[in-house]
Amino acid sequence: ELTIEKFYSKNFYYLITASLFDSKYQNKNMVWHNTIYNNKYAGNILIGKEFKLKKNNAISVNVRYMLRGGNRYTPIILSESIKKAIAVLDYTQFYEAQYPDYWRTDLSVSYKKNKNKSTWSYGADIQNVTDRKNLINQTYDVANKRINDSYALPRIPILFIRCEF
């Protein structure tokens, strides 16, 4: 693991993290297999800047980028699934297949007003600002006799008002 951090000073901060790992388990035959979470790596970059305005007011801008290897999965055997009208998994490939890398960029903008005994913030977070389609699951569709892809959440705007006292 690696972490690089600049603590908040001069109205600026950043945090960079990176991890390399291998997530496996050993079965009763003493054979090692991947777990669903054996993505191999994960990382984040978080950067924030605050712009001072009039006395006690500021605008903050924060960007976060996250990246990790895709989760592992056991492939569906389409021809067998069609014959049996149920998802048939290829257990000779148990957690050997891997979805594409998962990555996402989030953006946050807020206006902060400091008062004597409280701080009010008004802002917006936009998760997955690029609207990336991250593949996270596959299922067998019995009615249409095909494999369907499921994706992580699309772009999500979140408006907020926060009071800290």
pTM above 0.75, yes or no: yes
Burial of 66 (0-12, 13-18, 19+ CB in 10 A): middle
pLDDT digit string (tens) for 104-137?
A: 999 999 999 988 899 999 999 999 999 999 999 9
pLDDT digit string (tens) for 137-156?
A: 999 999 999 999 999 999 99
Q: Residue 55: its pLDDT value, please?
A: 82
The rounded distance, in Å, linking the Cα atoms of 162 and 76 is: 46
Residue 114: alpha-carbon gap to chain centroid: 32
DSSP states of 74-135: PPB-HHHHHHHTS--B-GGGTTTEEPPPEEEEEEEEEEEEE-SS-EEEEEEEEETTT----E
Q: Residue 41: its pLDDT value, please?
A: 98
The rounded distance, in Å, linking the Cα atoms of 55 and 18 is: 38
**Considering only CA atoms, which of 66, 100, 80 is closest in space to residue 142?**
80
pLDDT digit string (tens) for 63-102?
A: 999 999 999 999 999 999 999 999 999 999 999 999 999 9
Q: CA-based angle 125:129:134, to the nearest 5?
A: 120
Per-residue confidence at 54, pLDDT binned at 50, 70, 90?
confident
